């Protein structure tokens, strides 16, 4: 197993994603079209950004994640779309319009612990479920997002309450 493969596996297991049969050889990876093309170019990227925030806005299980976002999500959607375009290998719209994303710094004012990062990744998983990528592609892309989400953590994890029902 290569170091890269190990990283992918740890990124996945961190977020409770099943790793079986998701990884491909580097030779296969080099010859593929970009994620941007596979997801449906500009239209597909826009749809993913829209869906991500629509899911966050409507599903009660993402309530804590939704609560740290502004009431009006149009700025978040626009900036996320601009970022995703370059991140997925298409035109670097965010970089051209707003400069370097400095994601960790820009997320510094939001409390991001492991449960919050997990909510973000699950929300992305739901959004990707509506895309026309096949299952292994969705999982592979999700790993990349999970790695970035993990990097964004800036708070210790909540301490588990002791189980007082156990004498
Ligand atoms: C780990 C959990 C995460 C949380 C809790 C979180 C939360 C947030 C919040 C609250 C905002 C501000 C929205 C606004 O002001 O409109 C934001 C902005 C943003 N997030 Fe995240 N985020 C997370 C992970 C990620 C990841 C993994 C990515 C990229 C793959 C990402 C990309 C962005 C971008 C591009 C912006 C816009 C930055 C700007 O220009 O202001 N976020 N995020």
> For ligand 1, what atom is nearest to the CA of residue 144?
30
Does ligand 1 have an atom closer than 6 angstroms to the CB of 114? no
CATH architecture of 41-151: Orthogonal Bundle (1.10)
CA-proximal residue: ligand 1, atom 26 (nearest): 149
Q: Mean pLDDT over residues 101-129, rounded?
A: 97
Cβ–ligand 1 distance for 152 under 6 Å, the answer yes
Ligand 1 atom 12 nearest Cα: 69
Average pLDDT, the chain: 87
Q: Tell me the pLDDT tens digit for each residue of 18-67.
A: 444 445 566 566 778 999 999 999 999 999 999 999 999 999 999 999 99
Distance 101 CA to ligand 1 centre (A): 10
Q: For the chain, which residues make up each domain, given as ranges? A: 41-151
Instruction: Indicate the range of 9-23, 44-58, 121-135 predicted with least confidence.
Output: 9-23
- Which pTM does this prediction carry? 0.85
- Euclidean distance between CA atoms 86 and 129, whole angstroms: 21
The ligand 1 atom at the shortest distance from the C-alpha of residue 148 is 27
145 lines ligand 1 (CB under 6 A): yes
Compute the distance between CA of residue 127 and CA of residue 56 in angstroms, rounded to an integer. 9
Band the pLDDT of 158: cuts 50, 70, 90. confident
Centroid of ligand 1 to alpha carbon of 150 (angstroms): 12
- For ligand 1, atom 41, the nearest C-alpha belongs to 106
């Amino acid at each position: 197993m290569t170091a890269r493969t190990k990283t992918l596996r740890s990124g996945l297991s961190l977020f409770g994603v099943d790793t079986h049969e998701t990884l491909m050889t580097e030779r296969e990876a080099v010859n593929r079209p970009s994620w941007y093309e596979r997801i449906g170019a500009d239209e597909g990227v826009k749809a993913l950004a829209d869906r991500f925030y629509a899911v966050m806005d409507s599903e009660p299980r993402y309530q804590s994640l939704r609560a740290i976002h502004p009431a009006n999500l149009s700025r978040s959607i626009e900036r996320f779309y601009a970022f995703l375009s370059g991140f997925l290998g298409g035109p670097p719209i965010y970089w051209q319009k707003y400069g370097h994303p400095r994601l960790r710094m820009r997320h510094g004012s939001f409390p991001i612990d492991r449960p919050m990062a997990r909510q973000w990744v699950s929300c992305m998983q739901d959004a990707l479920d509506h895309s026309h990528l096949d299952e292994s592609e969705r999982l592979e892309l999700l790993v990349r997002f999970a790695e970035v989400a993990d990097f964004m953590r800036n708070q210790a994890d909540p301490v588990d309450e002791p189980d007082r029902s156990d004498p």
